[in-house]
Chain A
Amino acid sequence: MILEALYGTLNPIIPAHVLIGDIEAELPFCVFRADAAPARQKAGICGFEYVVNIGVIDNAVASVNSYSVQVIEAIENLKGSVSGTDIIASIQTDESGIYYENENNVFMNDLEFKVFTKNR
């Protein structure tokens, strides 16, 4: 499934957590989620278009930038069968740019990708 594929890709770069609520984690880390939109033809579902959001978080701008570059490269190279998900292509579609989040005293970068898959 897609979350396993993303976890397996992200976690070797930076500790990764699925975004399902408040998270307490040691810096650096990233949180991610994947929203599915089925590609439906009249004969039925022929694929999925996931919008994947990844937040890269650390206490230094340079570090967040370095992790962001690695994450973007890894996700854009996601292709083929990964953890049971048959991935057609992955592309980056948006990026917030690095910003300071003063409540938690961290720097963050929000990345957005589209991941096209044949199955879940």
Chain B
Amino acid sequence: MEKKLGFDLRLQVGSKFIAGTTSDTFNIEGKRRESIMKSDQGNKQWENIGRAITFSANLYVMHGSDANNMTIQDVRQACAANTTGYYEYGGDLANDPIVTGNCMFLSISETSDSENFATATVNFEELEGSGGWGTRSSSL
């Protein structure tokens, strides 16, 4: 086994990446249902009933466009409309494990000051029950 470099893990939405991404945060939480039944002698029991996935991308606000990336304007509009799309998160190389599903653009928060490159944070949420676990079929 070996450690994975951060820039080898990437978030892809639809057929495109998000231009200027510097870091991603990817959260998976199992959803639980709690029960207390007589048959369990009153002891709490938990049952997994699915997963909740939220993720975000931090990025430079980039100008211009290219065929492989969503522009900042694309992302702004997607957040405003809560656009949904297929996503993949995981390694760049063939056979790397990836998480897939459909996600919704939730929000974008842009930061621009007088001394630095402008940055933004985009938040997403997986549509419940839409995804799965897989491996990347070919290297990016």
Contact = CB atoms under 8 A, between A and B. Distances in A.
B68 to A, nearest CB: 8
Interface residues of B, number: 17
A41 B115 contact: no
Interface in A38-78: 39-43, 46-47, 49
A41 B114 contact: no
B5 to A, nearest CB: 10
Given A41-B60, A42-B10, A116 B117 contact: yes
Contacts of B10: 42
Contacts of B60: 39, 41, 46
Interface string B16-46: 0101111110000000000000000000000
B92 to A, nearest CB: 9
A33 interface: no
B21 A39 contact: no
Nearest to A91: B115
Contact of B117 (A39, A42, A93): A39
A114 interface: yes
B115 A42 contact: no
Given A47-B117, A91-B114, A42 B62 contact: no
B59 interface: yes
B20 A46 contact: yes
Given A42-B7, A42-B10, A91-B114, 10 more contacts: A40-B22, A41-B19, A41-B59, A42-B6, A42-B21, A42-B24, A46-B62, A47-B117, A49-B116, A49-B117
9 contacts: A41-B21, A42-B10, A42-B24, A43-B17, A43-B21, A47-B117, A49-B117, A114-B115, A116-B117
